[in-house]
């Protein structure tokens, strides 16, 4: 909503790009106005011209705007950025092409799971920490979860262990993003039915309970009927019937938990979510990424 009290609606590809770059009102209007002052239009052809120029922030906006379109035209424009010397440009292109299921992004996405974590965090030329990597990491996990390929099991598992390790010393800002990634990683491993791996995870009982529940939700593909399974609401999704009964059944079948152990696991998982005190929510995009 602008100063005149009405909401400005951007084209879908612009809205998608602004979201991926973390722009919210009123900064989205500022960013779009600045872009229009430089380029004069918001159509896809204009964004394709931007890719040939050097303004870094404009290039990121253009990559995501073009990447919203799952077309051969968009794919051909973005593939060269897989070899970009700019890590941000490369990450942006990989996220877009991964959404298109471009096979060449798969090994890069696996690397991105733990890339630019401490002590190898990235800083720009002015020395400021670049926060995009932690912001985009959850999208990386969601994209890999959608591939559901057995060879992804170990990269996902190793990333879950590494993010837990990082959490022990990370800042509160980083932890909020890593919490999200951990939930998504457990969910992805559940989609691949790798419940056996939970035995090798070294974490608190409450956190392990949460991961077990997310694995069960992934195994059930619960996100298809319950798109808010990752949302930080007061009532967690697995407290609803019949989903709660379905999760309990998976815990019994896949992990051998007794009815009492199932109850404790669900209670601890709910407690763990509340204990975090996290207020941010996972945005479920139209494309599920």
Q: DSSP letters of 205-217? A: HHHHHHHHHHHHH
Residues whose CB falls within 8 Å of the CB of residue 115, separated by 6 or more in sequence, listed in order:
133
Q: Is the peptide bond before 172 cis (omega within 30 degrees of 0)?
A: no
CB 111, CB 122: distance < 8 Å: no
pLDDT at 88: 93
- Each of the 289 residues of the chain gets a pLDDT tens digit; together they read 443 343 568 999 999 999 999 998 888 999 999 999 999 999 999 999 999 886 677 999 999 999 999 999 999 999 999 999 999 999 999 999 999 999 999 999 999 999 998 888 777 666 566 789 989 999 999 999 999 999 999 999 999 999 999 888 866 666 778 888 999 999 999 999 999 999 999 999 999 999 999 999 999 999 999 888 887 655 788 888 899 999 999 999 999 999 999 999 999 999 998 877 543 444 334 344 4
pLDDT at 288: 44
Distance (Å, whole) CA 67 – CA 48: 11
Distance (Å, whole) CA 185 – CA 101: 19
pLDDT at 129: 66
pLDDT at 57: 77
Quick check: helix, strand or coil at residue 150? helix
CB 87, CB 116: distance < 8 Å: yes
Question: Cβ of 48: how many Cβ atoms within 10 Å?
Answer: 15
Separation in Å, CA 118 to CA 95, 169, 171, 203:
21, 9, 10, 20
- The reported pTM is 0.89
pLDDT at 175: 78
Domain ranges of the chain: 1-110, 113-128+147-289
pLDDT at 204: 94
Residues whose CB falls within 8 Å of the CB of residue 36, separated by 6 or more in sequence, listed in order:
42
Determine phi and psi for 108, rounding to 5 degrees.
-70, -40
């Amino acid at each position: 909503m602008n100063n005149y009290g009405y909401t400005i609606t951007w084209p879908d590809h612009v809205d998608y790009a602004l979201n991926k770059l973390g722009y919210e009102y009123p900064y989205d209007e500022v960013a779009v106005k600045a872009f229009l002052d430089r380029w004069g239009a918001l159509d896809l052809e204009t964004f394709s011209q931007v890719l040939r120029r050097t303004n870094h922030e404009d290039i990121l906006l253009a990559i995501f705007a073009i990447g919203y379109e799952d077309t051969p035209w968009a794919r051909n424009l973005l593939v060269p950025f897989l070899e970009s010397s700019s890590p941000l440009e490369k990450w942006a292109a990989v996220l877009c092409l991964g959404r298109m299921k471009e096979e060449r992004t798969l090994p890069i996405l696996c690397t991105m799971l733990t890339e630019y974590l401490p002590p190898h965090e990235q800083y720009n030329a002015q020395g400021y920490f670049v926060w995009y990597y932690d912001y985009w990491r959850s999208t990386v996990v969601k994209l890999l979860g959608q591939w559901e390929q057995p060879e992804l099991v170990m990269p996902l598992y190793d990333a879950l262990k590494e993010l837990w390790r990082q959490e022990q010393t990370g800042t509160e800002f980083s932890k909020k993003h890593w919490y999200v990634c951990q939930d998504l990683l457990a969910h992805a491993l559940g989609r691949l039915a790798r419940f056996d791996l939970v035995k090798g995870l070294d974490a608190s009982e409450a956190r392990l309970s949460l991961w077990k529940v997310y694995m069960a939700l992934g195994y059930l593909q619960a996100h298809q009927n319950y798109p808010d399974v990752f949302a930080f609401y007061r009532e967690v999704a697995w407290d609803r019937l019949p989903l709660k009964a379905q999760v309990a059944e998976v815990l019994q079948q896949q992990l051998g938990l007794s009815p009492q152990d199932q109850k404790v696991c669900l209670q601890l998982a709910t407690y763990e979510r509340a204990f975090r005190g996290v207020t941010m929510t996972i945005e479920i995009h139209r494309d599920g990424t």
